Amino acid sequence: MRIGELAASSGLAPKTIRFYEEIGLLPPAEREHNGYRAYDESAIQRLLFVRHAQAAGLTLREIAQVLAIRSEGLAPCVHVRGVLQRHLSQVDSRLAELQATRAELEEAIRFAESVDPASCSEDQVCSILFRRA
């Protein structure tokens, strides 16, 4: 199949497919006599894997590592589990940061509701944010 058909089947843009081929996530396509890329059915499965891995939060580098493990004939499950656990830990840390930021914003809003705009001095710019600094 040509790149347009592969794009339609995988839901990816042809430019993305060419990029994945360039960085090694997709093996180089065979070329037809006219120079067009010709892909087989395994390309669809590979691209769908990449999309699922990205949806799970893996970077292109991490996806390449998983593919390299598989190409060595090994099951990458233990490696993938470790990557997913690291990502989950990062998400948990980010959620904690966001919750702390939310609490700060709520406190600032409560303070802002009690501030008289006429009491803002020019040197503070805004007493609500000056208080927060």
* Strand extents, DSSP E, the chain: 30-31, 37-38
Flag whether pLDDT at 133 surpasses 50. no
Bridge-based pairing state of the strands 37-38 and 30-31:
antiparallel
3-class secondary structure, 38: strand
Each residue's pLDDT tens digit, 35-50: 888 999 999 999 999 9
**pTM assigned to the model:** 0.76
